[in-house]
Structure 1
């Protein structure tokens, strides 16, 4: 019991691009304009950071490509992304996590994430015996990856060379977790916001969030322009 109570809280890592028109959510254009796509990206990122701000954590880090803006809530430290492909950037994000505590990495594309469920999954009693957490995405990718004992070497072993943004991306990562002998806890499957259809689905799932409000605004402008 003493060991469970002394278990350190996780490090939370969010990897994201600054919501600049023309650089984010390009698959939303069309029907969105680049400015509307950036508006949705900012809302998704803000909702994600706000939700994770409510989860117990030892440290909260935004691994950012770009510059922070007024959407950044208090309590988050910003560190720059490295260069290279997405696989290398994801792996490098874990290098910012202190050893001795678990780390959870999520993206900016799932503002509907259930922070209460995540907090339970990473609670000291529930996480006992778990080596990794894996959140599958509906498109075949993944929206979350957690490591109980993160090291840069393990992160590279799991992620370097994985083809990103394919239907088999998540399966490849899950295979590597198994090959590394890690006991994996599956998190719920979520939909990434990539297309307008995805945005509408996510807004329906989390209708009270800032992302849903932004989608109602943007979709209304799209309909009015037709």
Structure 2
């Protein structure tokens, strides 16, 4: 799962990245308004952590731009401004949650997890699709009660496919989901093919039906 942290306090941003990375989230940061706008134009995120007070602009303006673009990224406002009017403005503009500074990292992680469950998996901690069971909290995958061992990237891909079931996902979108800003550094997306191939092989060997389809010349689709 990919998180964008829009925060100008460098040490706080580093602390958030360190903690969320230990929870297996992939984190990117933006330290001011202009960096943040560049990233939201260029990429998609599972969750955006948005400070309201930023050098060069207002966090609420970023939130308004996300709404205008019809972006589906989840947004949690993190701000020292705890006035009720700021909270109300943010929620009215489309923010999903509001967390006032200072906060405990564990609470932030719990809110991110809850938001992603709510948006992608109907608030459920456990995803069940036929013979496949995924426990999001435990980060385990079972096929017919047998444990399936996946790498972190394979697990991320599986959740991404299921969260976008019946949609064709291009190799570029998958590369950006797995690598974020670094996706642009690759001349091709062969690493995406390798991860998808391994995921398909492991699912097949476990006895799971072939729901992960290759759409030739375009990408892949989780069809169910």
TM range (shorter): 0.3 to 0.5
* Higher-RCO chain (CA-CA 8 Å, sequence separation at least 6): 1
* TM-score relative to the length of structure 1: 0.32
